Every structure is written in C-alpha cells, then in structure tokens.
C-alpha cells in the first residue's frame, strides 16, 4: 500500500461518517430551536428527556462499536459464512434489546426524570417526551447495527444516506407536529420515532441486498465462537458506555440543580460539543475499519503510515477547534437560543469548552484505534477510570464553586486521562 492510497482510504471512509455525525447534533440543535419557539419549559424538558434517552442508547452502543471492526476482520480474512451468521445474530439481538430497553424506559420514565428535580410543568413535559421517543428505540438500535455492519464492509455511504433520511424526516415532522399541529413536546418526540422507523427499514434492506451469499454452513463451534465474541466485546463496551453516559448525564443533572437557565445552557453547550468534535469522531469510527484491516492483513499498526497520518490529521483538527470555539462560542449559542443564556458565558467557561475539544480530539481518536486493534478491554477500562476521575473531580469542585465551570473542569480532567493512557494502550505491544 502506498501512503497516498492510505490517505485516500481514510478520506473515503471518513467523509460519509463525518456528514452523518454532523447531521445528528445538527438535528438535535434544530429540535432545541423548535422547542425554544414554544417556551423555555419545553426546551428544558427536551434537554432532560434526551439525557435519559441517550443514557439507554449509549449503554447499548456496542451494537455499533463492537460490530464494525469484527466485520472488517471477517471481511478481510474472507470468512463470509461467519460474517453472514454474525449479521443475522446481531440483527435479532438489536431488536430484542431495543424492545426490552423501550419497555424499561417507559415503565421507569417518571422516576428517572425525578433525578433532575425539575419543576412540575417541566417534569410532565419531559415524561411525555421520553415515553413517546422510547417507542422508536428498537428501530434506532436496528439501524445502528445495520449501518455498523455496512461500515465494516466498507459501505460507509449508507450510514450517510440513512442519517439523511433520519434528519430530513425528523426536522420536517418535528416542525409540523410540534408547531403547525400544536402537539408541542409530544410532536417533537413522535417525529424522532417515526424517522428512525423509516431509516431502519432502509438500512436493513440495503444490508440484506449487499450480503454475499455462501453455501458454507456455520458449524456449532463457530456459532459459539461468534456469539462469545459478540457478547465478550459487548460486555466491555456495555460497561464502558454505562459509566460514560452516566457521567455525561451527571454533567447535565448538576446543571439542572443550579437553575433552569443553566440546564438549558448546558444542554446547548453539550450539543455544540458533540457537533464540534464530529470530524475526529468520524476519523475514529473510520479507524475501526482501517486499523482492523491493517492488523488482519499486515499485523502491524504501531509503525504504520496509517497511524502517522491519523495522528497528524487529528492534531491539526484539534488546534482548529480550540481557536474557533474560543472566539465564536457566544455567537453560536446566540444563534440557537435566547440572548439571556449568553450572559451566563464568561471567559473561563469559554476556555474550558475550547480545551475540552482540544484534549478530547485525541481521546476520541484512540477509542477507534483501540477497537480496531481488538483491545476492547483496554478501551473499556480507560473510559471507566476516566469517568470516575471526572465524577470525583466534579464533586470536589462543585463543593468549592457551584458553577458550570466546575463541571467543565471535571470533564477536561476526564478527557486528559483518556488521552494520555489511550496513547499508551495503542502503542503497547
């Protein structure tokens, strides 16, 4: 492989994922804007409801993260019969997990929302939002599995097309149901569920048509090997995702204990944060496929040109994100929500937000590399420890200064650990 070919491979696998990741927080920001047109209570309710919802979503992110590098490995080593069995097994598991999760979320919605201690009006609206959006959870997880498999098979564009379907359908339906038909927060939630129903049908249909059919039967011991691999990777990523999402929920929850304005600002800042690092996240997701393929074919990543290029590109992006976010943060927040929230932002908060993007860029890249290297255990331990560091830091800092800045310092300390230790894990033999 030439260096130029590697660069081309990186870009071809990254740009569709980048556009997909851009669209997700963008749709979330548009939802926030639609919610703010109604009133501040609806915006707060959407923020709380989304937090609880995504705790469940990202606990089961192993359906995507564990899938892509394993599929890439099976594809590179031409074990097509195993690949087909894995796809079917993962599809059934995704739907089953989605149904169970949706049922639990609907049943426990009221109690989960109480953790945020919202006002009675916000609590009622958040509960309605969460229940209706949970109906789309099985379709969300099914779509997640199908697109992850297709990325591993080097069809990243399907992820983009699927995301476009979700984004367009969600925005149109949110506005129509929430504003035009005056369904309010319920309309915004229903729009999301319908959008993922449509998208999951599309991605699954494409996956079925893309699969290479084989007459080779999967032997009993191979089935056990595949299911063991699925649940082994899934277990480590499940634990990782649980700690990470609980930590992110904690960051939102503590803001809600300050004031409704601060939870609204924190919700917007975290949406912007997600939007800010999307290109590095796209690189990390593309790296899962490319690194797994590199390891399967050449058994060498540590000294590869692929590694050098990924690191160099991430460094440039990190510097760009730091500078632009520090300069333009207030202007961007003003575009999204009301002017009163901008008054809460000071230079300290701007600096901390920008630093989180600078440090986090490397932490996110190492995530994808570690999964591509089949180091899901290290990937999990790294995030569990970093989440605990962030949580303990926030607890201490909030006791000294009960402000959003304390929460963002804790987040930065967590990301710093992930960046440093993640770098060590990817270069160890």
Domains of the chain, by residue range, sit at 3-427
Minimum mean pLDDT range among 61-65, 309-313, 355-359: 61-65
Arithmetic mean of pLDDT, 191-200:
93
Asked if the model's pLDDT at residue 13 lies above 70, the reply is yes
Asked if the model's pLDDT at residue 387 lies above 80, the reply is yes
Total residues belonging to the chain:
429
* Helices (H) then strands (E): counts for the chain: 17, 0
Longest dimension (CA), the chain: 66
Asked if the model's pLDDT at residue 1 lies above 60, the reply is no
Q: How confident is the model at residue 421 (pLDDT cuts 50, 70, 90)?
A: very high
Which among 149, 113, 146, 155 is positioned nearest to 131, based on CA atoms? 113
Q: How confident is the model at residue 85 (pLDDT cuts 50, 70, 90)?
A: confident
Minimum mean pLDDT range among 1-5, 226-230, 309-313, 314-318: 1-5
Distance CA 253, CA 378 (A): 28
Arithmetic mean of pLDDT, 335-347:
78
Q: How confident is the model at residue 318 (pLDDT cuts 50, 70, 90)?
A: very high
pLDDT value of residue 213: 60
The pTM assigned to this predicted structure is: 0.76
Residue 220 has φ and ψ, to the nearest 5°, of -60, -45
Residue 89 Cα distances to 67, 222, 422, angstroms: 11, 13, 31
Percent of the chain at pLDDT exceeding 90: 26
**Which phi-psi region, left, alpha or beta, contains residue 218 (left: φ > 0; alpha: ψ -120 to 50)?**
beta
Arithmetic mean of pLDDT, 277-305:
81
Q: How confident is the model at residue 35 (pLDDT cuts 50, 70, 90)?
A: confident
Distance CA 122, CA 44 (A): 7
pLDDT of 210-248, one tens digit each? 876 655 566 666 677 777 777 777 788 778 877 887 888
pLDDT value of residue 2: 47
Asked if the model's pLDDT at residue 299 lies above 80, the reply is no
Asked if the model's pLDDT at residue 324 lies above 50, the reply is yes
Higher pLDDT, 359 or 371: 359
Distance CA 94, CA 102 (A): 12
Distance CA 23, CA 397 (A): 34
Arithmetic mean of pLDDT, 319-332:
90
- Structure token digits, residue 292: 């797994």
pLDDT value of residue 419: 92
* Displacement of CA 204 from its chain's centroid (Å): 20
Q: How confident is the model at residue 19 (pLDDT cuts 50, 70, 90)?
A: confident
């Amino acid at each position: 492989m030439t260096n130029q070919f590697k660069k081309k491979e990186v870009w071809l696998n990254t740009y569709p994922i980048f556009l997909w990741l851009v669209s997700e927080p963008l749709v979330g920001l548009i939802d926030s804007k639609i919610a703010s047109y109604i009133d501040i209570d609806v915006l707060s309710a959407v923020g709380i409801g989304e937090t609880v919802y995504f705790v469940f979503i990202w606990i089961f992110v192993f359906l995507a993260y564990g899938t892509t590098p394993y599929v890439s490995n099976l594809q590179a080593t031409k074990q097509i019969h195993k690949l087909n069995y894995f796809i079917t097994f993962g599809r059934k598991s995704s739907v089953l997990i989605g149904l169970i999760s949706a049922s639990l979320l609907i049943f426990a919605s009221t109690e989960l929302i109480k953790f945020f201690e919202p006002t009675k009006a916000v609590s009622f609206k958040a509960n309605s939002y969460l229940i209706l959006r949970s109906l789309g959870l099985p379709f969300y997880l099914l779509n997640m599995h199908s697109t992850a498999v297709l990325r591993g098979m080097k069809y990243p564009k399907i992820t983009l097309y699927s995301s476009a379907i979700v984004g367009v359908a969600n925005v149109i339906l949110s506005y129509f149901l929430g504003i035009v038909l005056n369904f309010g927060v319920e309309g915004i939630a229903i729009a999301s569920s319908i959008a993922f129903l449509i998208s999951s049908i599309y991605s699954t249909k494409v996956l079925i048509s893309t699969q290479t059919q084989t007459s080779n039967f999967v032997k009993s011991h191979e089935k056990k090997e595949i299911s063991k691999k699925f649940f082994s990777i899934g277990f480590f990523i499940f634990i990782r995702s649980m700690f990470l999402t609980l930590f992110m929920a904690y960051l939102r929850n503590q803001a809600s204990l300050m004031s409704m304005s601060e939870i609204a600002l924190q919700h917007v800042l975290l949406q912007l944060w997600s939007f800010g690092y999307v290109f590095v996240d796209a690189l990390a997701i593309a790296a899962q496929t490319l690194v797994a393929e590199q390891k399967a074919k050449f058994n060498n990543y540590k000294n590869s040109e692929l590694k050098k290029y990924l690191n160099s590109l991430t460094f440039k992006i990190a510097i760009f994100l730091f500078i632009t976010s520090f300069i333009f943060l207030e202007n961007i927040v003003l575009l999204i929500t009301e002017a009163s929230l901008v008054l809460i932002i000071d230079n300290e908060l701007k600096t901390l937000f920008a630093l989180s993007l600078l440090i986090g860029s490397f932490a996110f890249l190492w995530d994808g590399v570690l999964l591509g290297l089949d180091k899901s255990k290290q990937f999990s331990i790294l995030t569990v420890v970093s989440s605990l560091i962030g949580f303990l830091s926030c607890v201490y800092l909030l006791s000294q200064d009960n402000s959003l800045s304390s929460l963002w310092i804790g987040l930065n300390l967590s990301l710093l650990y992930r960046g440093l230790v993640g770098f060590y894990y990817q270069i160890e033999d």
